[in-house]
Structure 1
């Protein structure tokens, strides 16, 4: 059991520091500060020691000592998570384990279409490296300039390209994991077919560091598209957007690489708070879609396909207006608008956010029902709905009413969550589509998931981490 609930013993801290060397044992409070806050400011912890190992062997030694002494370890990547899974508690007795120095790309294999990469590699760095090798790693997130591969896998990250390529779990072929005991599971295989027993890697992907420390992974690569077209579309309703999505799937198949739904309020905020932002369409549309088509054949093929989809959508009354990006710069500007939508809410005051998923066909009905319950909790609250319609994942956020004090609105956090999540469950959806559970949703998961599921998760946790040192207080 954990033996250091009120702080880390100085002599023990010295033993941990000796493993990585004094240079990589962070002890000054000012240097530790960036490691104990998460981006939204919902969770803040304390720590007296951050370890920055430079090898798998050092991670192994740290974990072995942690198990022997009952010292809780909090693995951390780029610290971009939004549910508090990477933040220590306030006891001061938890050690933050930063994987950022494990940042080598060990191998790019364009024939096998794989890359073997360490946990601390920044996602954007990986994008550039595989692009130079003529390949694509499709995981795409707003935080890709700072998030790291280990964190992506630990949270089973999603993003804008899931509709075509899948989430982080589906992009992972193998892992290297240091267990709480210090043992190293080397499962760095490139195989697309492997039925030799339990699929161990998928216990660690999405576990948020509660079972072990992912130190490296084999990831899937894809051929680079030879053509890419991006369109911004104006529509009358979520029902029209769903009809257009169905049409784009039928006509485009795997060429449909993004389909993002954007409600009226996010665009209002974007035009007000994004520097130099211009509306892509003339006139005002209550709902808008950012759609991307990629072709492995040619730029002309991608252009013809997106024009065909939009033309049929106009004829069917699904599309009210549309513009296809005339250049790469304009396409990038469309994506900049989309990626900055979460940030624009900060300028509008307090917000209550929901990272949910429902079956794609249920999205219009979910939005209608959720809008009703939001009004019931807070009549003048402003719904800020956008997200990855192509995979059923909406960021159904709620901003404070104009004139209401932020703390007064945030006092409604629990009833608002409960109301929206009850609607999610009525559609057999998920209260966490891509952000994870962490601290934010742990209690709700335990209270609302099937009891057998919770029991099985606890059994898995106990089997892998009997000392209870792996990221305690998170997930389960």
Structure 2
């Protein structure tokens, strides 16, 4: 049972009476019926790649706990090429969805480092983002239908995937991002896109976050919605990956203090994206927004760039204990947020190294304070220290009009912070919805709302 009751980084461990692995929606509904009969609580788990402990079972009041995993529900249900819809079981891994879409001459444009493990149900429940949000939006924009077992054991089926359906509340949007607190997602209809046929990949050393924001504006003016990804990293983050991850290589003579990884993509095989990217980069160099640039000349070179980007989480586990923040502000405010956070960190947490990786195109900043393993082990109260760090960074995010969770969710990690900083009216409505759908608090108690 161990893999089902602790988070993948080994930082939090729970307990459960049983792990249920239903192979069908009806079996999942039967598990919910059993839980209701025995006053048990249910903790859904997908690929267990979350960072906020949302899948760790922590049953309140001694109630029996059942972990429900979707790992046996991996079937392809239907493909509709004309409507660009792929319908799958919730336990299917994201990488498998990519394979199925490609086999139909389509793409599913959600990409993140854990796609070989992350499951569709978990990605829906956390409204996952990834590197393509700038162009395609988060999971909420890629899901056109959901099937789920509700807390009363009934099955909500909405897999018609209609473009237009104006018949009242769109209930799937309650389940997307609900972190399993309103039901067990068992199936989903996903929006596919036409595949991109030409690409350009680059890595540019910018003079700072302000320059990166200006570069984004120029790139948008020149390349429009062909921008697939625009990822900013600081020197400490890149060096962390180079230090710990095999087969990583830097195209610059030295690690830039700040740099941006860029991907352009177009469905037109004749589109000259490389020339467009080179044009924008050259103008940035001339305007002193950047001091070095690299454009991939082959697929292998492109993969080397993105191998570094997608390896940051793995590198963090080796480097130390990172207090990872999932903040977001308007991209126009990113530079100010980082500057204020750096000043705060240097003053109050000098033991930590600051690592930054940002989906700059959508304003999402993963601001990470990385503490050495030895320092962290010696702390008398690690949870209190982590909360102290989180509160300090979150205060700055809110001051800049931002959020404490852009794509990772709340889980069990940030419930107190949501209470402290969340909109009271919104939180009240959320609690009313939870009580209406799950009055016995069966579904993932302790996550999101407490």
Give the TM-score normalised by structure 2: 0.95
Of residues 2, 12, 27, the one that matches 1:58 is: 27
Deviations 1:16-59 (A, max 9, x none): xxxxxxxxxxxxxxxx1110111122221112211111111111
Q: Structure 2: any 5+ residue segments left out of the alignment?
A: none
Of residues 352, 356, 359, the one that matches 1:381 is: 352
Contact in 2 for aligned 1:49/1:95 (Cα 8 Å): yes
Contact in 1 for aligned 2:237/2:357 (Cα 8 Å): yes
Of residues 431, 442, 449, the one that matches 1:469 is: 442
Shift of 1:197: 0.8
Matching of residue 208 in structure 1 with residue 179 in structure 2: yes
User: Following TM superposition, where does structure 1 have runs of at least 4 consecutive aligned residues deviating by more than 4 angstroms?
Assistant: none
Shift of 1:276: 3.1
Matching of residue 452 in structure 1 with residue 425 in structure 2: yes
Shift of 1:114: 1.1
Query: 2:324 & 2:255 partners in 1: Cα distance?
Result: 25
Structure 2 match to 1:135: 106
Deviations 1:335-360 (A, max 9, x none): 11111122222333222111111111
Query: 2:97 & 2:270 partners in 1: Cα distance?
Result: 24
Deviations 1:287-306 (A, max 9, x none): 01100000111265222222
Query: 2:135 & 2:258 partners in 1: Cα distance?
Result: 23
Contact in 2 for aligned 1:46/1:92 (Cα 8 Å): no
Contact in 2 for aligned 1:78/1:146 (Cα 8 Å): yes
Matching of residue 48 in structure 1 with residue 21 in structure 2: no
Shift of 1:405: 4.9
Deviations 1:356-415 (A, max 9, x none): 111110000000001111122212421001121111111100112697454439453222
Contact in 2 for aligned 1:349/1:406 (Cα 8 Å): no
Structure 2 match to 1:33: 2
Matching of residue 110 in structure 1 with residue 69 in structure 2: no
When residues 402 and 99 of structure 1 are mapped into structure 2, their CA distance, relative to the original with a 3 A threshold, is closer
Structure 2 match to 1:17: none
Q: Structure 1: any 5+ residue segments left out of the alignment?
A: 1-31
Query: 1:306 & 1:265 partners in 2: Cα distance?
Result: 26
Of residues 150, 153, 175, the one that matches 2:124 is: 153
Contact in 1 for aligned 2:90/2:119 (Cα 8 Å): yes
Query: 1:57 & 1:414 partners in 2: Cα distance?
Result: 41
Query: 1:299 & 1:85 partners in 2: Cα distance?
Result: 45
Matching of residue 220 in structure 1 with residue 220 in structure 2: no
Contact in 2 for aligned 1:107/1:117 (Cα 8 Å): yes
Contact in 2 for aligned 1:154/1:209 (Cα 8 Å): yes
Give the TM-score normalised by structure 1: 0.90
Shift of 1:272: 1.6
Shift of 1:332: 0.9
Of residues 74, 84, 87, the one that matches 2:43 is: 74
SS at structure 1 position matched to 2:272: helix
Shift of 1:308: 2.3
